[in-house]
Amino acid sequence: MKPVEIKSSTIATTTAVQASSAIRSDAMVLPEAAQIALVPSEQKQLEECEIIIASGWNNFVKVGRALATIRDQKLYRQRFTSFEEYCTAKWHYTRYYAYRLIDAAQTTQVLLTIVNILPPTNEAQVRPLIGLGPEEAKTAWTNAVKAAEGKPITAKLVLAAARPFRLGLAEQAAKQSVRGVPSRPAGGARTQPDTSWITVASYRIRDVSALLKQANALVGESDSALRSTASSGEISAIHQKAQGKLKEAIEALEWLL
C-alpha cells in the first residue's frame, strides 16, 4: 500500500488544535538508543496522522491509512525503535490490532471500487474479508449486501458470504504445507505483515482470548456487586456487558469454522 498523503486542510482547525495539544502533552519515555530525527515535513506528517488517529476512532479507514503511513515511512523512529512499540506506547494498540486496522482499510479501498453497492461502515464488517484476493473480497461483499435485502449488513452475513473463499484458502494452504511451500493468500503476495488465512485466523484466536478474559473479569465484577450494596440496575448492566463480550467471542469463533 502506497503511503497516504494527508493534507492538513482536510482536518478541522478546532480538532487539529485540540488533538495536537494532546499529542504534544503525552508523556513518552525516549529509548536510550539514539534515533534518527524527523525532518520538519515528516514531523508535520506524523502530527497530522496522529490527529486523525486521536479524533477518528470510528473512522477505521482513515485510522488504518494513518497507521500505514506511520509504519511505511517509519515516522515513529525518532521516539520509538519499532512500529509495534509505537502502537503500544502511544495508542495502547496491540500489534495484531494495529495491523488489522491497516488491513481493514486496505480491504475497504478495494470494496469502494464496486459500482452501485453500499460500502462498509465499520471495521467489523470487513474483518471476514481480510486475507481474500481483491476479486474474492468484492464478490463476497456483493453477496452479503444482496443477502441483507436492504437490512443492516451484519458481520455475520459477511462471514457467511466469505466462508466459501476462506475454505478455499485453507485447502490451498494445506496443500502447500504438504509440499513444503509457504502459504500465501489467493491473488498473490501482500504487503507486510502476511495476511494469509492462517495469519488472520491467529488474530481472531487472540481476539477470542481477549474477549473471554474481559467476560471473565466482568463475571468477577458481578459477583462482587452481588455481595455489595449495588442496585439491581447496576448488576444488570454488568451482566449485559459480559453477555456482549461472550457474543463477540462466539462470533469470532464462528469466523474460524
CB 127 within 8 A of CB 248: no
Write down the residue that cell numbers 478455499 correspond to. 168
Q: Are residues 70 and 180 in the same domain?
A: no
Q: Does residue 189 fall inside a structural domain?
A: yes
Q: What's the pLDDT tens digit per position in 3-12? A: 444 444 443 3
Q: Are residues 173 and 73 in the same domain?
A: no
Q: Are residues 86 and 124 in the same domain?
A: no
**CA separation for the pair 237, 246 (Å, rounded):** 14
- Which residue did the predictor score with more confidence, 245 or 177? 245
- Position 40: which residue type? P
Task: Choose one of 58, 93, 128: the last residue of a domain.
Answer: 93
Mean pLDDT, the chain, rounded, equals 76
Question: In residues, how long is the chain?
Answer: 257
Q: Residue 13: is its pLDDT beyond 60?
A: no
**What local confidence, expressed as pLDDT, does residue 2 receive?**
47
Largest CA distance in the chain: 63
Q: Residue 27: is its pLDDT beyond 60?
A: no
Q: Are residues 42 and 125 in the same domain?
A: no
Q: Does residue 1 fall inside a structural domain?
A: no
Question: pTM of whole model > 0.75?
Answer: no
Q: Are residues 85 and 108 in the same domain?
A: no
Could you give the number of structural domains in the chain?
Answer: 2
Q: Are residues 158 and 34 in the same domain?
A: no
Q: Are residues 80 and 111 in the same domain?
A: no
Domain, as residue range, for 122: 104-256
